Amino acid sequence: MSLDVETPDPPELEQMDPNEYDDAEVVGDTDYKRDELEAFLREGAWEEAFSQWAEQADLDESAFEIMQDLEMLGRFDFFWDSFAERVGYHAPGIPEDWKEREYHADIDSWETVSGINAEITELGQLVCDVLKDEYIDWEGDYEAPDDLPDF
């Protein structure tokens, strides 16, 4: 399946600690290089990754419109994890209690919710891959603390 939509603007990355996310663990310094990553996104990494994603996305235009209505694409976070020498990310998602909260009028099934959540995760990973493979040329500068226990 292919998604025929225009590429939205890349997300603006906010300065926050990625360890505050439930699903992220980052070890190392606190220089997450968001300014550099945001510049790479604007220079073409976002458009390239989005185009690749749209070519293979298992999502229809109505589900994409829900993503747009909820401003999900603008709520991505990308950060440099110097310990793992990788780009980490946090993708926004539709919460489990979407029905009780009346999260969006056009969401009517778990299939829609899980499809959107899965595809936005795929997009996040593609963006990380494009950034790492084609834009980033710095090395991590993580140094292990001296007081680690011996095993």
* pLDDT mean for each 10 residues of the chain (151 residues): 91 75 54 92 98 95 96 94 88 94 93 96 98 85 55 55
Please state at what angle helix 110-130 crosses helix 61-69, rounded to 10 degrees.
80
Residue 81 lies in a domain: yes
- Domain of residue 69: give its range: 25-135
Residue 8 lies in a domain: no
Our count of domains for the chain comes to 1
Residue 142 lies in a domain: no
Q: What is the pLDDT of residue 81?
A: 86
List C-alpha distances in Å: 79 to 19, 38, 45, 89, 145. 11, 9, 14, 6, 22
Kindly report the pTM of this predicted structure.
0.83
